[in-house]
Amino acid sequence: MGARKSRGAVEWHVPGRKTPIAYSTTATSNLIGMLAADGLTFEQAHAAINYDDEAKAILTLYIERGHGETVMTEFGVRA
């Protein structure tokens, strides 16, 4: 039996859903976590990121699901 292929070091979830909406590297998770520690919403963090396309893609998924105005720490995002 083969081992399941890893999709990423970090899984990203939304409330009420067991399966992850995205996977990322630890570095991307740390970047988003630092922005969450500043009390930013998903939209504010998306606007603050200039160079990490993976982080922007993850935040876009949350925004598309209607969580753009939600402070990231409410979803358990932390550094």
Q: Is the pLDDT of residue 5 over 70?
A: no
For residue 77, report the phi and psi dihedrals to the nearest 5 degrees: -75, 125
Question: 77: pLDDT confidence band, cut at 50, 70 and 90?
Answer: confident
pLDDT of 56? 98
- DSSP annotation of 6: P
Which string of b and e fits 55-74 if b means at least 16 CB within 10 Å?
Answer: bbebbeebbeeebbebebee
pTM for the structure as a whole: 0.87
The pLDDT, as a whole number, for residue 36 is 95
**Degrees to nearest 5, angle at CA 57 with 55 and 62:** 95
Q: What share of the chain is helix, strand, coil (3-state, %, to 5)?
A: 50, 10, 40
Q: What is the pLDDT of residue 48?
A: 96
Give the model confidence (pLDDT) of 22-60 as tens digits. 999 999 999 999 999 999 999 999 999 999 999 999 999
Q: Where are the domains of the chain?
A: 24-75
